[in-house]
Structure 1
Amino acid sequence: MISYTKQGKGKPVIFLHGFCEAKEMWSSFASQLSNLYTIYCLDLPGFGKDIYHEPLPRSLEEVAVLLQEWLESMEINQPVLIGHSLGGYVGLAMVELMGNEIAGLGLFHSTSFADDEEKRHSRNKTIDFIHKHGVEKFIESFVPPLFPEPSRSKLEREIAELIAYGKMNDSNTVITYIETMRDRKGRFEVWGSFDRPKLIIAGVQDTAVKIEASKAHESSASQYHELEGVGHMGMYEAPTQSLAIVKQFLSSI
């Protein structure tokens, strides 16, 4: 069973969190958008407070099928997907599976490109680190660099919140999703051929999804936005600007 929250009435909008995050990260966006839309925030299978007890999905394709089944069970039609990082990878897999059953797609600090060899090597090193030191040590070292160094001191509370979300997860879930991200296929053609509204939100200082990768998606995007001075967590680093961009995108659909 997929764990989720639901607020509001209107067009369905589904927020998908990133790696080692949780649905609660979207709570501010959800409350501010729920006067216009029905906002669903999901825990991806195995993450957060998820009550999903089946074997973990081993690929993005499997995650997409599980979420398609959830949509059918909830009788949700023509949703807009907004995915952060891993959530964007999942959104692209859902678009590949469901096509125009998806009304729009937003990639929030995410990309349609597969991992390159350097990134795959880095993920393998991360798996080794977790085996040796555990999830908590990994999360403590993983989260702060998602933010540019100058902003870390003023966002200590937000960073602590993200670390707490990450520590809710067991090593099996974390390692399985690292392998899933490492082995995912590229979906740049899926992105280009999807003929519904598409949004890119990119952080100019993002070290996880480089700005050059985001720029490569611009020509096929309905809306493309770069956040100056922002790393990988625009919903925390530039919340007002990020929310305004999402509102503008949703109003265009």
Structure 2
Amino acid sequence: MSSLYFFEKGSGQPVVLIHGFCEIGAMWEDFAQELSQNFRVVCPDLPGFGNSPISQSHISLEEVAVLLEDFLEENGIQNPILIGHSLGGYVALAMLELMGNKLKGIGLFHSTAFADDAEKKQMRNRTIQFLKKFGAEKFVSSFVPPLFSEKHRAEFASEIEQATEQAKQSSLEGLIAFTEAMRDRKDRYEILKSFQGPKLLIAGTEDGAVKIAASRKQKEAFTHYYELEGTGHMGMIEEKERTLKLVKGFCLEIS
């Protein structure tokens, strides 16, 4: 039996929204509310985040994919559309490799099918060192605000505060384990490219975590590709109305 906590709204074609690093399923509350008018929307907490426990100190994205496949089966969720933000996109891609055409479609929010390069791997290692030295709360307080475009931080001060509070529901074990999992993940570009189903990418031109150059480099692998001008890593907040419209349109088109 899966130990993953989740909430769901609506009925019909399943849409599974997978949160990112330092996030919880509740980040999708507004999206779930809107999408539930047409779909069964399912929002899990990944292991070590929110209300989902993590039982091991090391976890791979492949193991997370198996865990989520079991979760889908237990809850009668068939042929879902997966939408993942950042880390959630990496998880969705691992699920794509595992489940293939059992997925109706896949969408990435500020994410990439490419593996970490050497510079990014070094940054992950520094993150692990920081977490071990200073703990989770100090880390998330400094990690969350820069996810937003600098020009949007004053405008979205309350949303940044809420995102930081949600990030504090991340366990130290989960943060370390998933930092390692992201660092060590494989390149899944060819897997993405060979998938014949609908594929969505939403990218931010000011995204400091997934550079716009990387998004443009994988553009041809997607059937639906959009850039958010002047937006950072948090398009679902910084450009909520537009991104919700894009996601809903994508889901309606393929369901």
Structure 1, unmatched stretches of 5+, are none
Query: Which structure 2 residues correspond to residues 23-34 of structure 1 after superposition, within 5 A?
Result: 23-34=25-36
Q: Distance in 2 between matches of 1:204 and 1:92?
A: 22
Shift of 1:199: 0.1
Q: Counterpart of 1:214 in structure 2: which amino acid?
A: S
Q: Distance in 1 between matches of 2:169 and 2:220?
A: 38
Residue in 2 aligned with 1:39? Answer: 41
Q: Distance in 2 between matches of 1:65 and 1:244?
A: 30
Q: Distance in 2 between matches of 1:167 and 1:67?
A: 23
- Contact 1:12–1:78 at 8 Å: present in 2 too? yes
Q: Counterpart of 2:155 in structure 1: which amino acid?
A: K
In the alignment, is residue 211 of structure 1 matched against residue 212 of structure 2?
yes
Shift of 1:55: 2.9
Shift of 1:166: 1.4
Q: Distance in 2 between matches of 1:109 and 1:40?
A: 20
Residue in 2 aligned with 1:118? Answer: 119
- Contact 1:202–1:214 at 8 Å: present in 2 too? yes
Q: Deviations for 1:135-194, whole angstroms, at most 9, x for unmatched residues?
A: 111111111111111110111111111111111122111111100100111100111011
Q: Deviations for 1:70-91, whole angstroms, at most 9, x for unmatched residues?
A: 1111111100000000000000
Q: Does the residue aligned with 1:252 lie in a helix, a strand or coil?
A: helix
Q: Distance in 1 between matches of 2:94 and 2:101?
A: 13
Query: Which structure 2 residues correspond to residues 98-247 of structure 1 after superposition, within 5 A?
Result: 98-247=99-248
Q: Distance in 2 between matches of 1:178 and 1:141?
A: 16
Q: Counterpart of 1:166 in structure 2: which amino acid?
A: A
Q: Does the residue aligned with 2:7 lie in a helix, a strand or coil?
A: strand
Q: Counterpart of 1:65 in structure 2: which amino acid?
A: V
Shift of 1:213: 0.9
Residue in 2 aligned with 1:73? Answer: 74
- Contact 2:59–2:181 at 8 Å: present in 1 too? yes
TM-score (norm 2): 0.96
Change (3 A) 1:79 1:234: same
TM-score (norm 1): 0.97
Q: Does the residue aligned with 2:100 lie in a helix, a strand or coil?
A: helix
Q: Counterpart of 1:127 in structure 2: which amino acid?
A: I
- Contact 1:45–1:57 at 8 Å: present in 2 too? no
Q: Does the residue aligned with 2:70 lie in a helix, a strand or coil?
A: helix
Percent identity between the two aligned chains: 51
Shift of 1:217: 2.0
Higher mean C-alpha deviation, range 39-48 or range 52-61 = 52-61
Q: Counterpart of 2:111 in structure 1: which amino acid?
A: S
- Structure 1 segments of 4+ aligned residues over 4 angstroms from their partners: none
The partner residue of 2:15 within 13, 16, 23 is 13
Q: Distance in 2 between matches of 1:191 and 1:26?
A: 24
Shift of 1:49: 1.8
Change (3 A) 1:57 1:69: farther
Q: Distance in 1 between matches of 2:148 and 2:169?
A: 21
Change (3 A) 1:218 1:135: same
Shift of 1:130: 1.3
Change (3 A) 1:188 1:53: closer
Shift of 1:118: 0.3
Shift of 1:134: 1.2
- Contact 1:140–1:163 at 8 Å: present in 2 too? yes
Q: Distance in 2 between matches of 1:125 and 1:9?
A: 43
Q: Distance in 2 between matches of 1:2 and 1:33?
A: 22
Q: Distance in 1 between matches of 2:93 and 2:236?
A: 20
Residue in 2 aligned with 1:248? Answer: 249
Q: Counterpart of 1:168 in structure 2: which amino acid?
A: Q
Shift of 1:54: 3.5
- Contact 1:45–1:56 at 8 Å: present in 2 too? no
- Contact 1:204–1:231 at 8 Å: present in 2 too? yes
Give the number of aligned pairs. Answer: 252
Structure 2, unmatched stretches of 5+, are none
Q: Does the residue aligned with 1:14 lie in a helix, a strand or coil?
A: strand
